Structure 1
Amino acid sequence: MDEELKNGGRERLFHDLLTFDLSQMDLWHLPQTQALLDQKVRSLDTIDDFWFNRLDDGSDWPRQIACADFYAEYLKATSQIGVGRKRGQAEFGKRLAKLVPGLRRFGPAIEVAPGVTKQVWCYEIPPLNECRAAFDELLGQPVDWPALPPGAGERAQHVPDDDDIPV
């Protein structure tokens, strides 16, 4: 290689660089490879990583969940991994709102003990397929999500029965 560089190689390389047609190249567009996706996933923040793992698992997809319970699930998952900074509940909620379009926070009155009603803040979570699509958009490329059995990860549809019909 040294011999080639000494015998006109440098000049040839310089010529090639000067005459290379860059008009067909988009240097700002990165090829969306599996390696790039792996790198993006490995560098996720703790909240994003928690959400990615929930989306990847997909089983037992809740329609709604108490905010405090979901945050506790995040803390448990983060402590098991042992990396990254744990975020506060307010920061968790703000980031989750950005990760999950259509996430709704509401505070129904729930009976927590016999005769004791308390307002409990809850998240209403969109269907799994919508959440996965939003995360794909966030990453800028599709994730090869694991397939789920039919109906799994979707919101349960309420089917009225005889008890629901007023007399």
Structure 2
Amino acid sequence: MRIAGRHGITVSSPKQLAGNFNAHLRSAVFVFADEALWPGNKEAEGTLKQLVTEPVIAFEPKGKDVIQGRNLVHLMLASNEEWVVPAGKDARRFAVFDVTEGRRGDTAFWERLNSQMENGGYAAMLHDLLSMDLGDWHPARNVPQTQALADQKLLSLDPVMKFWMEVLERGSVGLIDEAEWLAGPITLKDERDRLREEYDAFLKRNRVYSAKATSKALAAAGKSFGLEAVKLDRNMGRGWVIPPLSDARGMFEARIGADGLFG
């Protein structure tokens, strides 16, 4: 904020960041959003993603026509909440970091740091940032895969992926127990109806009214950990084949970027 000067602003509410009247963002180069967003707000989520990636966005001054303008915003969010950003399975917009508590209460450290920044530190930081050679680095390809980002992906999972995570964690499907699933791939036919019923109960238990329990949704989400819809023999029709439990769990973890998710 000190470096950006009049082109830096702090926002503290969703309206200031993602509301209709956003003319204050037109000249903003750096925006610090302090506890300003709830990632479950779908409307705010769309605006947030536009701020991160779109080169041109719409600005709406109060009482005036909407105008198009160059998006100059560089965004930083801070929060004490567990869920901070809407990070999907393939999230490429957010670099997420947990802040260490190692310096909590270390007054002498913060006094030295603040003194250094006030006596040339801001200018030195700006110099370092401007002169840093980024080479071919690109944010969409090089987002740091941190545990904090993995945690955000887990919290942002859609209902069907959360349900599959429960299934993989317990390690059983219908009459197929964990030992059988660990031993090799499993084929589901009649168990598909049982899974759909379980998913429906999961949605009701979690009061999720925006999703429907369908076999199609389950199959589509299952592809992320190797589920294949296959044609069985002539009498059995179609079914699903899922890799061995350890492989399926590994693929799920790799998709989320969270090692050791299933212990």
* TM-score normalised to structure 1 length: 0.60
Q: Which has the higher contact order (CA 8 A, sep 6+)?
A: 1
Residue 37 (structure 1) aligns with: 150
Aligned partners of 2:227 and 2:240 also within 8 Å: no
Identify the match of residue 15 of structure 1 among 127, 130, 136.
127
Higher normalized helix content (fraction of residues): 1
**Bigger radius of gyration, 1 or 2?**
1
Equivalent residue letter for 1:70: L
Shift of 1:39: 1.0
Shift of 1:51: 0.6
Shift of 1:90: 4.5
Aligned partners of 2:224 and 2:251 also within 8 Å: yes
- More off after superposition, 7-16 vs 61-70: 7-16
Aligned partners of 1:75 and 1:86 also within 8 Å: no
* Amino-acid identity (%): 28
Aligned partners of 1:46 and 1:85 also within 8 Å: no
Q: Distance in 2 between matches of 1:109 and 1:73?
A: 28
Equivalent residue letter for 1:127: P
Q: Distance in 2 between matches of 1:76 and 1:108?
A: 31
Q: Distance in 2 between matches of 1:69 and 1:91?
A: 14
Q: How does 1:135-154 map to 2 (within 5 A)?
A: 135-146=252-263
Aligned partners of 1:106 and 1:124 also within 8 Å: no
Secondary structure at the residue paired with 1:134? helix
Change in 2 beyond 3 A, CA 1:35/1:17? closer
Aligned partners of 1:65 and 1:124 also within 8 Å: no
Q: Distance in 1 between matches of 2:130 and 2:221?
A: 49
Equivalent residue letter for 1:123: W
Residue 216 (structure 2) aligns with: 91
Q: Distance in 2 between matches of 1:14 and 1:123?
A: 56
Residue 51 (structure 1) aligns with: 164
Number of corresponding residues: 137
Identify the match of residue 125 of structure 1 among 235, 242, 249.
242
Residue 74 (structure 1) aligns with: 199
Q: Distance in 1 between matches of 2:251 and 2:261?
A: 14
Q: Distance in 2 between matches of 1:105 and 1:53?
A: 24
Q: Distance in 2 between matches of 1:140 and 1:58?
A: 20
Q: Distance in 2 between matches of 1:103 and 1:33?
A: 30
Change in 2 beyond 3 A, CA 1:73/1:12? same
Aligned partners of 1:102 and 1:126 also within 8 Å: yes
Secondary structure at the residue paired with 1:16? helix
Q: Distance in 2 between matches of 1:24 and 1:93?
A: 39
Q: Distance in 2 between matches of 1:88 and 1:43?
A: 19
Q: Distance in 2 between matches of 1:15 and 1:126?
A: 52
RMSD of aligned residue pairs (Cα, Å):
3.6
Aligned partners of 2:197 and 2:213 also within 8 Å: no
Shift of 1:100: 3.9
Q: Distance in 2 between matches of 1:94 and 1:70?
A: 11
Aligned partners of 2:253 and 2:259 also within 8 Å: yes
